A and B are shown apart, each in its own frame.
Chain A
Amino acid sequence: MTSRNTFAQGMTLTWRSLVPLRNQPGELIQLLLQPIFMIVIFVVVFGAMSGDQGGAVQRLLPGVLTQVALTQTITTGMRLAEDIGNGVFDRFRSMPIARSAPLMGRILADTATMTLTIAVALLVGAAVGFRIRTSPLEALGGVALLLTFTLSLGWVSAWLGLRARSAASMQGMATAVLLPLTFGSTALIPAANLPGVLRWWANLNPVSHLADSLRALLTGGPVGAHVWITLGWCTAIAACFVPLAVRTYARRIR
Chain B
Amino acid sequence: MSNTIEAEGLVKRYGDKTALDGVDLEARAGSVLGVLGPNGAGKTTAVRILATLVSPDGGSARVGGHDVTKEPAKVRELIGLTGQYASVDEKLTGRQNLVMIGRLLGMDRTAARARAADLLGRFGLGDAADRAAQTYSGGMRRRLDLAVSLVGEPSIIFMDEPTTGLDPQVRAELWAVLREQIARGATVLLTTQYLEEADQLADEIVLIDRGKVSARGTPDELKARAGDRRLEIRPEHDAEKAGRILAEVTGLRPHHGENGVISVPVLDPALPPAALRRLDDAGIVLTEHALRRPTLDEAFLALVAAPADGSPERPAGRPVERPSA
Contact = CB atoms under 8 A, between A and B. Distances in A.
Q: Do the two chains belong together in a single complex? A: yes
Interface of A: 1, 5, 8-9, 12-13, 15-16, 19-20, 23-24, 27, 86-88, 90-97, 101, 254
Contact of A24 (B55, B77, B132): B132
A27 B105 CA distance: 28
With a 10 A CB-CB cut-off, give which of A1, A20, A27 has the most chain B CB atoms: A20
A95 B101 CA distance: 9
B79 A12 contact: no
Nearest to B101: A95
A19 B51 CA distance: 28
Contacts of B77: 96
Interface string B136-161: 00000000000010001000000000
B104 interface: yes
Interface of B: 48, 51-53, 55, 73, 76-77, 79, 81, 84-93, 96, 100-101, 103-106, 132, 148, 152
Nearest to B87: A87
7 contacts: A12-B100, A23-B92, A87-B84, A88-B89, A90-B81, A91-B87, A101-B104
A17 to B, nearest CB: 9
Nearest 7 A/B pairs, CB to CB: A87-B87, A20-B91, A96-B76, A94-B81, A12-B103, A91-B86, A96-B77
Given A87-B87, A88-B87, A90-B53, A19 B106 contact: no
Contacts of A16: 89, 92, 96, 100
A8 B81 contact: no
Contacts, number: 73
A19 B103 contact: no
A178 B115 CA distance: 44
Contacts of A13: 100, 104
B103 A90 contact: no
A97 B52 CA distance: 13
B263 to A, nearest CB: 42
A91 B91 CA distance: 15
A14 to B, nearest CB: 11
Contacts of B76: 94-96
Contact of A94 (B51, B84, B91, B103): B51
Given A9-B104, A91-B86, A97-B104, 5 more contacts: A12-B104, A13-B100, A86-B90, A94-B76, A95-B76
Contacts of B91: 19-20, 23-24, 27
Nearest to B91: A20
Given A86-B87, A91-B81, A96 B73 contact: yes
Contact of B105 (A15, A20, A96, A254): A96
Contacts of B88: 88, 91
A78 to B, nearest CB: 13
Contacts of A95: 76, 101, 104-105, 152
With a 10 A CB-CB cut-off, give which of B53, B90, B93, B152 has the most chain A CB atoms: B53
B92 A20 contact: yes
B213 to A, nearest CB: 24
A8 B100 CA distance: 11
Nearest to A254: B55
B179 to A, nearest CB: 23
A11 B92 CA distance: 16
Given A23-B132, A95-B76, A96-B76, A90 B85 contact: yes
B104 A94 contact: no
With a 10 A CB-CB cut-off, give which of A1, A8, A19 has the most chain B CB atoms: A19
Nearest to B52: A94
Contacts of A19: 91-92, 96
Contact of B148 (A8, A23, A91): A91
B259 to A, nearest CB: 45
A9 B152 CA distance: 15
Contacts of B132: 20, 23-24
A96 to B, nearest CB: 4
B70 to A, nearest CB: 13
A101 B96 CA distance: 18
A93 to B, nearest CB: 6
A96 B152 CA distance: 10
Contacts of A1: 73
